[in-house]
């Protein structure tokens, strides 16, 4: 089989967010449905609504391989940098 010769690739997914307390858990939970091994890098872009702590807690609760990054410079460009 071709699948046996080529193992499934591991993906890294960057999830930039700013004050996404409501939608962030839904987004992170949806990543658990992926069939590939995935590493999640949630990037808190200076949230002031507790989204950073929520991202960490949600990733831990879901057993996601993750690395929370905080960047206080405003804007999506910096969150993805």
Domains of the chain: 2-80 (3.90.550.10)
pLDDT for residue 35: 82
Q: Under 8 Å CB-to-CB from 28, ≥6 apart: which residues?
A: 15, 40, 42, 55, 58, 59, 62, 64
Identify the residue whose tokens are 């949600």. 58
Give me the chain's average pLDDT, please. 86
For residue 29, pLDDT over 80 is answered with: yes
pLDDT in tens, 42-73: 999 999 999 999 999 999 999 999 999 998 87
């Amino acid at each position: 089989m071709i699948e046996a010769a080529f193992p499934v690739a591991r993906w890294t997914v960057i999830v930039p967010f700013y004050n996404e307390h409501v939608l962030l858990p839904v987004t992170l939970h949806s990543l658990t449905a992926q069939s590939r091994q995935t590493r999640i890098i949630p990037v808190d872009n200076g949230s002031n609504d507790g989204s950073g702590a929520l991202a960490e807690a949600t990733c831990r609760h879901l057993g996601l391989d993750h690395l929370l990054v905080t960047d206080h410079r405003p804007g999506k460009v910096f969150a993805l940098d």
